[in-house]
Chains A and B, each alone.
Chain A
Amino acid sequence: DAGVTQSPTHLIKTRGQQVTLRCSPKSGHDTVSWYQQALGQGPQFIFQYYEEEERQRGNFPDRFSGHQFPNYSSELNVNALLLGDSALYLCASRSGGTGHSPLHFGNGTRLTVT
């Protein structure tokens, strides 16, 4: 049973460019969240998708946007990249039926902005 898978694993972009990160949730999961983890920090919540809609959003600018597809997979898009966007981007999934279920995380995409 595959867990949460993310692609690509590493990415190098230049300031001002745009990037798209992809995530496939764990089988049976319908809720996908994205987190940003800067070096030496805990993960910071970006947003959560359920039933193809953004349900909750953290304190991130509109440059960060997302999408969830009918098969529950998700994309994170970041426009006009800044040096400060360099981080590990983590996708997490869970079953939306209960708030008790823990998040299952992928291994992340390491984004470097130069």
Chain B
Amino acid sequence: QVQLVESGGGVVQPGGSLRVSCAASGFTFSRYSMHWVRQAPGKGLEWLVVIEINGATTYYADSMKGRFTTSRDHSKNTLYLQINSLTPDDTAIYYCVKEFENDKWFFDHWGQGALVIVS
């Protein structure tokens, strides 16, 4: 079955950087666009970015441009999110999510999330 397992969360000081990874299994990773969604404690969901199959095409939410970078490695079936210049407002659970099918921009599988605390 489809599994998305995030890792790399933790406590980071303001101004620091962090890379969250997402190991994918149970489906052909190279055939699906992948997204990141975050959720601040007690708050709603916020879409961050999509990376398409080719790994070169990405679309970021406007507020994420510049500090967030996503990439993917098909040889490792892994998705990455690099976050720089962290602020306390970046404290959230970061979810790796799989698109239902290509160009269907909703999500049928979610990882368990990686908690990032900026303090």
A and B: bona fide binding partners:
no
User: Taking beta carbons and an 8 Å cutoff, which residues of B are in contact with A?
Assistant: none
